[in-house]
């Protein structure tokens, strides 16, 4: 069993407890895959040097994030929740890139020697960490550290599905697009009834009531219809005899 936390843990008040609870439903060969933003990205560091820490609609400083992690604290999160880290990979975004997922930085405001030293840090351009971890006991963790073994399973085939959506679907349908991509590649989306999450739709970006917002909404709808036309026309999880024009599951007449 694979349980995937795609940009989820940083939104939770107590991600440690959620991971501990998850252990209870994992099968013997089950494992967790999680993607977690890197608060130590170079653009964040340089912004802090200028006294700036401005929340945004999305990206590393998403205004719905409750927790922030570095590589070290990602490892601590897993260990303190009773997991053994098997793989750690990363998605990259150059820290001086012109991208709205990180603060915009003017390199001319900083000493070139300092920039050169920062570029020597292997995580300076890490946008997100992608980890695979398995439940373990303290004894198993100690044994693993002594043996220093890893399984080298490549997480890229899983996470790249979400990454491709992240840069295109920035507002509305990235979660749906991601779940459909997982299904198309042979994975399953597992519903956890004991986990309660609150998503205040449009809380951060407001209502779609301006020409710009309406245009981007229409653009993303068009993408979903083109990309997933078969599922949009015939949702396998929705009875074809029910209406699509209302939300009360009335019969289609």
CATH number at residue 71: 3.40.50.150
Give the range of the structural domain holding residue 225, as residue numbers without chain letter. Answer: 207-253
234 and 144, same domain (yes or no): no
* Sheet containing 2-6: order of strands: 2-6, 31-37, 126-135, 83-92
**Final residue before a domain boundary, out of 123, 153, 183:** 153
pLDDT value for 55 = 95
125 lies in the same domain as 7: yes
* Contacts for 2 with CB less than 8 Å, ≥ 6 apart: 30, 31, 32, 33, 158, 187
Under a CB-based contact definition with an 8 Å cutoff, are residues 38 and 129 in contact? yes
Residue 90 lies in a domain: yes
Domain endpoint, select from 115, 132, 153: 153
Greater confidence, 98 or 18? 18
Q: 38: closest CA among 68, 16, 77?
A: 68
Q: Are residues 92 and 22 in the same domain?
A: yes
pLDDT of residue 151: 43
CA distances from 158 to 138, 167, 200, 238 (A): 28, 16, 27, 26
In a domain, 39, yes or no: yes
- Distance CA(209)–CA(113), nearest Å, equals 47
pLDDT tens track for 121-138:
889 999 999 999 999 876
Is 200 domain-assigned?
Answer: no
123 and 7 assigned to the same domain: yes
In a domain, 51, yes or no: yes
Q: What average pLDDT does the segment 203-214 reach?
A: 79
| pLDDT tens, residue by residue, 210-228 | 888 888 888 888 888 888 8
User: How does pLDDT run across 74-124, given as a tens digit for each residue?
Assistant: 999 999 999 999 999 999 998 888 888 999 988 889 998 888 888 888 899
Same domain? For 68 and 146 the reply is yes
Q: What is the dihedral of CA 138, 143, 146, 149, to 10 degrees?
A: -110
DSSP codes, 61-94: TBTT----B-HHHHHHHHHHTTEEEEEEEEEE--
Same domain, residue pair 118 and 211: no
Query: Residue holding tokens 């074809």?
Result: 240
Q: Does residue 143 lie in a domain region?
A: yes
**236 domain residue, yes or no:** yes
Q: What is the mean pLDDT of residues 36-46?
A: 96
Query: Three-class SS of residue 14?
Result: coil
pLDDT at 200: 72
pLDDT of residue 93: 92
Residue with the bigger pLDDT between 70 and 226: it is 70
How would DSSP label each residue in 37-59? EBTT-HHHHHHHHTT----BSSS
Looking at the 3D structure of the chain, how many domains does it have?
2
Report the Cα 95 to chain-centroid distance in Å. 19
Q: Same domain for 6 and 118?
A: yes
143 and 216 fall within a common domain: no
Tokens found for residue 87? 């793989």
**Could you tell me if 212 and 139 lie in one domain?**
no
Integer angstrom CA distances of residue 64 from 6, 55, 87, 179, 202:
15, 9, 27, 21, 11
CA-wise closest residue to 203 among 55, 36, 17, 8: 55
Q: Are residues 67 and 143 in the same domain?
A: yes
């Amino acid at each position: 069993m694979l349980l995937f936390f795609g940009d989820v843990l940083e939104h939770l008040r107590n991600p440690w407890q959620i991971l501990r609870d998850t252990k209870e439903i994992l099968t013997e060969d089950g494992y967790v895959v999680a993607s977690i933003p890197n608060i130590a990205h170079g653009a964040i560091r340089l912004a802090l040097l200028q006294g700036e820490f401005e929340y945004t609609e999305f990206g590393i400083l998403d205004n719905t994030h409750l927790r922030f992690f570095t590589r070290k604290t990602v490892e601590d999160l897993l260990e303190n929740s009773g997991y053994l880290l098997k793989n750690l990979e990363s998605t990259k975004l150059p820290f001086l890139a012109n991208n709205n997922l990180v603060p915009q930085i003017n390199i001319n405001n900083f000493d070139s020697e300092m920039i050169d030293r920062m570029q020597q840090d292997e995580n300076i351009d890490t946008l997100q960490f992608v980890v695979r971890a398995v439940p373990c006991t303290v004894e198993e963790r100690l044994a693993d550290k002594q043996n220093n073994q890893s399984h080298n399973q490549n997480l890229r085939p899983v996470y790249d599905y979400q990454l491709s959506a992240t840069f295109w679907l920035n507002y509305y349908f990235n979660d749906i697009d991601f779940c459909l991509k997982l299904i198309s590649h042979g994975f399953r989306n597992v519903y956890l009834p004991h986990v309660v999450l609150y998503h205040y739709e449009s809380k951060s970006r407001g209502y779609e009531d301006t020409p710009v917002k309406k245009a981007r909404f229409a653009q993303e709808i068009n993408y979903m219809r083109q990309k997933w036309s078969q599922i949009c026309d015939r949702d396998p999880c929705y009875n074809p005899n029910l209406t699509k024009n209302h939300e009360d599951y009335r019969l289609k007449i």
